[in-house]
Amino acid sequence: MSGTTLTQPTSRTVTALADGRQLIYYDRGPAVPRNTRDERPLDPRAPGSEVRLDPATGDWVTVAAHRQARTYRPPAEECPLCPSRDGRLSEIPAEDYQVAVFENRFPSLAGPPAAPVHGADGLWTGGPGAGRCEVVCFTADHDASFADLTPERARLVLDAWTDRTAELSALPGVRQVYCFENRGAEIGVTLAHPHGQIYAFPFTTPRTARMAARATAHRADTGRNLSDDLLAAERAHGERVVLSGEHWTAFVPYAARWPYEVHLLPHRRVPDLTALDERQRAEFPSVYLELLRRFDRLFGTGRTPYISAWHQAPAGLRDELALHLELFTIRRTADKLKYLAGVESGMDAFVNDVTPEDAARRLREVAQ
């Protein structure tokens, strides 16, 4: 065991792919020999991206034109996330694996930081797209999804997310580590294999920056933490609570933007995954798997497309921003999707077709 944040009996093996990218295996139980070499003739890594600050809004935008060439919805027999078997070589040279993490071949962000570049009398601020993008494979089973994982495997994924958060947060220039999963072709997923991604950003993301401003203002007004107050209010009110464990509560937020949107928070506030204690970690798989399975039961259409987004406090905001997971679907009925159109995309003003109270009730009804 080499990762300082890993709890026994998880082991981690760091290897390299043919073009030098890191590939890390996470295994439950004793360490598994992970020395199969990547024999593919890979091109050198793509050139880097750049980040630019929108002078009108203060939002950072990543410009990554090189990603146009990335793999787009390959057939299952060409899946780059399946193990390498029967003479077919994938991104993962092993014949089998439990959880595997590797640097994205077409990253939006990569490399070390550099001083920002300014132009036009300080109006334009930009720089290299420093940071790192990783792919997290949840299982070697191409046809599974996260909701199918055992609690033990979900715990191993949590351990991998935690380990990556610790390591990526320590990289020079990284301000925020974002672990997430897009599930379903409706969301725009280009690879069907169950996987998530991690972005290590060189800036604080726009949504996090807005949340930080609200939390700072709440502290100034009340002397209290905003996340603590919101969680306590939702738990006391109860109407929007979806499920509650001993250490975690999931609720539909008062002003949810998406038809079905759930926020999952640990009762003891922590800034990021690395600060969860063992009791919180132990309970997480059962709570999260239950939420995902309820999402899949909502519409009678099988797997519901969703985005699952871990919010973690960036550097400098660890005292106020709380770790939480935001899980939402763009599906509003069995045959209707919520698209971001003129109101949302043009103005960032959401119109939600389902009341948060109805969404919470539905998500309680589909419990088993």
> Where does this chain bind Zn ion (CB under 5 A)?
79, 81-82, 142, 193
Q: Please tell me what DSSP assigns to residue 147.
A: G
Q: Which is nearer to Zn ion, 79 or 166 (by Cβ)?
A: 79
Q: Tell me the closest approach of the beta carbon of residue 83 to Zn ion, in angstroms.
A: 8
**CA separation for the pair 127, 131 (Å, rounded):** 12
Q: Tell me the closest approach of the beta carbon of residue 68 to Zn ion, in angstroms.
A: 23
Per residue, the 3-state secondary structure of 13-42, as one string, reads EEEECCCCCEEEEEEECCCCCCCCCCCCCC
Q: Which is nearer to Zn ion, 142 or 268 (by Cβ)?
A: 142
Phi, psi of 281 (to 5 degrees): -65, -40
Q: Which is nearer to Zn ion, 193 or 263 (by Cβ)?
A: 193
Instruction: Please report the DSSP string for 116-135 in residue order.
Output: -EEETTTTEEEEE--BEEEE
Longest dimension (CA), the chain: 63
Angle, alpha carbons 163-165-171 (nearest 5°):
110
Strand-pair category, 195-201 with 176-183: antiparallel
Dihedral sign of CA atoms 267, 268, 272, 277 in order: negative
Q: Tell me the closest approach of the beta carbon of residue 158 to Zn ion, in angstroms.
A: 22
Q: Which is nearer to Zn ion, 78 or 239 (by Cβ)?
A: 78
Q: Which is nearer to Zn ion, 83 or 356 (by Cβ)?
A: 83
User: Does residue 264 contact residue 325 with C-beta atoms inside 8 Å?
Assistant: yes
Q: Tell me the closest approach of the beta carbon of residue 192 to Zn ion, in angstroms.
A: 7
Identify the active-site residue in 118, 142, 195, 324: 195
The yes-or-no answer on residue 142 being catalytic is: no
Rounded-to-10 torsion of CA 163, 164, 165, 167? 90
Q: Tell me the closest approach of the beta carbon of residue 35 to Zn ion, in angstroms.
A: 22
Kindly list the catalytic residues: 195
